[in-house]
Structure 1
Amino acid sequence: MATEQNQNAQDLGLEQADEQAVNAQTEAEQTDLSVEDLQAQITQLQDSLKLEKARTANAVYEAQKSVERIQRDAEKHKETALEKFAKELLDSVDNLERAIQAAGDVESPLLEGVKLTLKSLLTTLEKFGVVEVDMNNGFNADLHQAVGIAPDAKAGEIGTVLQKGYTLSNRLLRPAMVLVGQ
């Protein structure tokens, strides 16, 4: 009986050893498959990461371009609004200059107030880039509008200025209306 028990124990031990060997071989095969599966999954995730990085970079690029475009549009809108506003103020400048001319040589506190108001308005316009068109260098069709002939002026020179011209940030805001020599 002891021998039978020993034999059974040995048989059991052999069976367990065989099962362990089979299990170890199965686990090794599963491990091999798992490593291959994991490597495939890693490769797939790396490809997915590259794609997402490219999408993110493209989105950042598009956002930067949008910000730049919005800034350009805002600047253009600002310039347009400033141009319209400055054109309207030029009428006030013209009226103040006419009032000074109409007063003639008579000095009065009212005339002094008009002169100071004109000076203040012109200073404010200059702060924002509105500058009077140059009249000293002769007629320039880009800056002056000839509306007639000045008989006492030389050819190509400005005889009489009917209305001053102005530029805004080196762009023509209003041409000077002048009489030109023939």
Structure 2
Amino acid sequence: MANEHNEQAQDIQQEQAEQQNEQTQADVEPANVSVEDLQEQIKKLEESLKLEKARTANAVYEAQKSVERIQRESEKHKDTVIEKFAKELLDSVDNLERAIQAGGNEESPVLEGVKLTLKSLLTTLEKFGVVEADTTRGFNADLHQAVGIDPTAKPNEIGNVLQKGYTLNGRLLRPAMVMVGQ
């Protein structure tokens, strides 16, 4: 498509150069101008106007396509950056969850602070489209990674979740590591 526009631009430039040559020759000719000559000159000027309009339309089209392409690339880059950042934050989520498990049933101000910190972090991640992958509806190879067999679980059901999985705006960010029944 870009080659087609470049060829059109070259054709337009050649025609303009020819028109300028003809116009300078017409300027050099004597002042005896007939109606036919004027009509011919009007016709050439109208053609020149059409060419300029086409050139302008092509330039506007190319500019719009460039803006659209830049916007697509910008969105893709933004998604990539958010994805990398979110993956790094998931390690902190895992560590906070481990700290809560290590605290056991004992309630302390420190444990309460860790729970609040985890809740705040998860809320922030959800604002940007990061949500926990569902493990309640059975094993799904698109969302879960089976790392072992759980003898107590029903076939194709998730028995134990070793590490939570997360999605970002519907796309898998990290699969859940699960034990599955046979």
Counterpart of 1:153, as a letter, is A
TM-score by length of 2: 0.82
Q: How many residues align?
A: 153
Who is 1:104 aligned against? 104
Alignment match, 1:167: 167
What is aligned with 2:56? Answer: 56
Structure-2 residue corresponding to 1:45: 45
State the 1:34 CA deviation.
Answer: 2.4
Unaligned ranges ≥5, structure 2:
1-29
Match of residue 19 from structure 1:
none
Cα offsets for 1:56-80 (capped at 9, x unmatched): 0011011001101100000000000
- The one-letter amino acid of 1:87's match is K
Q: CA-to-partner distance for each residue in 1:103-140, whole Å, 9 max, x for gaps? A: 10110000000000000000000000000000110000
> 1:95 aligns to what?
95
The AA in structure 2 aligned to 1:116 is L
Q: Identity of aligned pairs, percent?
A: 80
Aligned residue in 2 for 1:128: 128
Alpha-carbon distance in structure 1 between the residues aligned to 2:92 and 2:33: 88
Q: Distance in 2 between matches of 1:85 and 1:31?
A: 76
Aligned CA-pair RMSD? 1.3
Give SS of 2:37's match. helix
What TM-score do you get using the length of structure 1 for normalisation? 0.82
* Matching residue of 2:155: 155
Residue type of the partner of 2:133? Answer: V
* Amino acid corresponding to residue 100 of structure 1 in structure 2: I
Q: Which residue of 1 aligns with 2:4?
A: none
Counterpart in 2 of 1:79?
A: 79
The gaps in structure 1 that reach 5 residues or longer are 1-29
The structure number with the bigger radius of gyration is 1
Residue 31 of structure 1, CA deviation: 9.3
